[in-house]
Structure 1
Amino acid sequence: MAPDPHFKADSPIKNIEENKFKIYPRALNITWGKDKRFWNLPHRDTRNEDSFAELKQVCWLEVTGSTEKDVLVEEKYKVGFVISLRPDAFGWDDCSVYIMAKIGRRGNYSFKKMSLAALPTGKRITIPDDDQLIIQVPAFKPDNDDLKLYFGLYEVWTNRWKGGLRIHHAFVEIVE
């Protein structure tokens, strides 16, 4: 049996403020993340502002995570990623990424679609940018479900090769 080429989160989420969480790359699940042909991941103990996961090339971008604990009932959460593009980034023209989130494994996704093609290279950018992704937690816990927040960054539809993306961290925070 071949080893699993996908990286499974192996470090905890960092609570940086009471209602704000940073999820560094090693706390994310990265499809093809263990395969050095496709991704460079930070070292095991790296959880700081200078670390990032770097996409070399994939045709299937899927980076996911979840909160460790249930989110609070009736709260609103903002979800996003802090990324940058290398100067030699490729494959992002005519190719939108989706930032998606849901409450519970069986929940319905909310999403924001955006293009990375026009982003400046080398500069850290928060996505989604102006049009935030806000998730409302229901007033009650659904039957046979959980209240964890599941989120991800995806581009799995075009089947085009893309590369040069750096993921610095994801974040989840309560919106006042």
Structure 2
Amino acid sequence: MKTVLRIFGIIIILISLLTCSMSIYRAQLDKDKLAEEQTELAAVKDNIDKLKKEAENMTGESKKQIDEQIAGFEQELENIPSETAYLIVQVLLSTLLILSLVFAVFLFRANLKLSSQLFYVAVILTIVAFLVSPDIKRGEYGGMESRTLALLSGIPVAIGGLFAILVAKRTTSK
């Protein structure tokens, strides 16, 4: 039974290594894209400032419509994540990647106490990575959202931890 648990554990660990690596890469791509678009964002902010100055001279219904448009643009600008958010996500996902490697070791060198503690750490890191990940809706043909990728990266790590715990329980029971 331990051999079967180890085989499934290795498969899950390989999946977690793949998903964590892909998510880290994706966060880096998003961070690079954000850095490239900073000049465009600066131009948009300048246009918003010009619209505000024009709206000061207006009255009536047209002023109300422009003020609503300005508020909508400012709201969209506030929703753009910073590069720091992507860096934090990358650090959390890298920690999950390292945890999956540790769980791979624990599949063959059983340590029940440490694997159960690290399992809880993996679950907490997955939740934190989910909450910290930018919530940007992808386009109709775009990729997955960052939050979905954080979950898809953390769940296999936690399952790999469960397999390490089960192997440790089988080892200590005999």
Q: TM-score scaled by structure 1?
A: 0.26
Q: TM-score scaled by structure 2?
A: 0.26
Task: Report which of the two has the higher share of helix.
Answer: 2
Structure with the greater relative contact order (CA < 8 A, sep ≥ 6): 1 or 2?
A: 2
